[in-house]
Amino acid sequence: MAAPHSPMHQFEIKRIFPIDFFGLDASFTNASLYMVIAVVLIAGFLILAMGRRALVPGRVQSIAELSYEYIANMVRETLGEEGMKYFPWVFTIFIFILTLNLLGLIPYSFTVTSHIIVTFAFAAMVWIMVTLIGFARHGFGYLKLFVPEGIPLALLPVIIPIELISYLIRPVSHSVRLFANMMAGHTMLKVFAGFVISLGFIGGWAPLAFLVAFTGLEFLVAFLQALVFTVLTCIYLNDALHMHH
Amino acid sequence: MELEAAKMIGAGLACSALIGAGVGIGNIFGNYLSGAMRNPSAAPAQFTNLLIGFALAEATGLFGLLIALIILFG
């Protein structure tokens, strides 16, 4: 339990409807609430934007089409045309994380992606999916991923464990990046907000100006981290689909 | 109390891994920009590679941050 004025207070999870699922705590928390809000927002926005498909798109339809095209191009570039069947999955990951990041920037709201367990669940899902796809496509030949071509035989006992560890560490680095960026950014915002209050009416303007600028930067970080998460998903998928290193 | 103080110092030391991440990220974006200035038409095609480099450089620093968080809250 963090004190109400501590920078960590904003990350506290509160139970809204306590649910006990056979001894497991499956309560509907504020984190679940924000995920539901994100899903409703995304579905509502895309249905509204694409409901009236005009040939010359309006403002709302343009946003939907731009985001679709952006991710579609990225998938086509990294995975090729055959990778387009994974596009719905990649697009879902991108738009869900982006919406959660942006929802967190609204004052007094809750940032779901600032919790390591949430981002780790995303990253673990990606990792398990990629590994399954790799084995389904290449059979045991997928293990050749750990043996890079053109390496002298004497180096193999060193290279294979390194490759194996770097493969196994993927979900960790994948999730910690998103989590640490969101958490550090929001903590910093709160710390500087505390400076505004403690410096008072005279001295508080400097941290307030910084706070405004930093909030702008946080919007960039929210977008960039969602994008980086998606790009890495594409790259891992590319490893599984094409196996060239 | 002795252990508590050592933990705090250790967490602070672990955060020094982020120095490398900062240098790395600055290096990547700086080099991307100087390359993009020389050949602006080739720049958009390399944006994905830029993000990969950024992600890899950041990951090494974040492992240090993770150690710090584990020490403090684990």
pLDDT digits (tens, 9 = 90+) for B9-25: 999 999 898 899 999 99
pLDDT digits (tens, 9 = 90+) for A105-152: 998 889 999 998 999 999 999 999 999 999 999 888 888 888 888 888
Question: Angle formed by the axes of helices B47-73 and A170-203, to 10°?
Answer: 80
pLDDT digits (tens, 9 = 90+) for A15-28: 888 887 787 888 88
Mean pLDDT of A30-58: 88
Q: Which CATH class is domain B2-73?
A: mainly alpha
Q: Which residue has the tokens 């980086």?
A: A228
pTM: 0.85
Q: Which residues are bridge partners to A21 per DSSP?
A: A24
Closest Cβ–Cβ partner in B51, B59, B63 for A227: B51
The answer to whether the Cβ–Cβ distance between B59 and A177 falls below 8 Å is yes
Separation between Cα atoms, residue A8 and residue B28, nearest integer Å: 32
Enclosing domain of residue A170: 67-242
Q: Is residue A144 part of a domain?
A: yes
Dihedral of the CA atoms A231, B24, A100, B11 (nearest 10)? 140
Q: Which residues of A touch B50 (CB under 8 A)?
A: none
Q: Is residue A46 part of a domain?
A: no
Single-letter amino acid, residue A54: A
B47 touches chain A (CB under 8 A): no
**Other residues' Cβ atoms within 10 Å of the Cβ of residue A172:** 18
Closest Cβ–Cβ partner in B48, B52, B58 for A177: B58
Q: Is residue A19 part of a domain?
A: no
pLDDT of A2: 58
Q: Is residue A5 part of a domain?
A: no
How many separate domains does chain A show?
1
pLDDT of A140: 87
Q: Is residue A37 part of a domain?
A: no
Are A180 and B65 in contact by the 8 Å Cβ rule? The answer is: yes
The answer to whether the Cβ–Cβ distance between A231 and B52 falls below 8 Å is yes
Q: Is the pLDDT of residue A174 over 70?
A: yes
Q: Which residue has the tokens 């993009």?
A: B36
The answer to whether the Cβ–Cβ distance between B63 and A77 falls below 8 Å is no
Separation between Cα atoms, residue B3 and residue A108, nearest integer Å: 36
The answer to whether the Cβ–Cβ distance between B65 and A231 falls below 8 Å is no
B29 touches chain A (CB under 8 A): no
Mean pLDDT of B39-63: 85
Q: Which residues are bridge partners to A24 per DSSP?
A: A21
Q: Band of the pLDDT at A244, cuts 50, 70, 90? A: low
Are A5 and A194 in contact by the 8 Å Cβ rule? The answer is: yes
Mean pLDDT of A142-163: 86
Q: Which of A168, A145, A161, A153 is nearest to A245 (CA)?
A: A145
Closest Cβ–Cβ partner in A176, A227, A232 for B66: A176
Q: Is the pLDDT of residue A245 over 60?
A: no
The answer to whether the Cβ–Cβ distance between A228 and B55 falls below 8 Å is yes
Separation between Cα atoms, residue B59 and residue B73, nearest integer Å: 20
CA distance B3 to chain A (A): 22
Sequence-distant (6+) residues with CB within 8 A of A235 are A78, B52
Closest Cβ–Cβ partner in B48, B62, B66 for A74: B48
Instruction: Tell me the count of A-B CB pairs closer than 8 A.
Output: 31
Separation between Cα atoms, residue B11 and residue B14, nearest integer Å: 5
Q: Is residue A163 part of a domain?
A: yes
Q: Is residue A106 part of a domain?
A: yes
Q: Is the pLDDT of residue A1 over 80?
A: no
- Main-chain phi, psi angles of A18, to 5 degrees: -65, 125
Are B1 and B42 in contact by the 8 Å Cβ rule? The answer is: no
Q: Which residues of B touch A238 (CB under 8 A)?
A: none
Nearest CA in chain A to B49: A231
Mutate which: B15, B47, B51, B73, vs A, most A CBs within 10 A: B51
The answer to whether the Cβ–Cβ distance between B55 and A78 falls below 8 Å is no
Q: Where are the alpha helices (DSSP H) in A29-169?
A: 30-51, 59-79, 87-104, 116-138, 156-168
ipTM more than 0.85? no
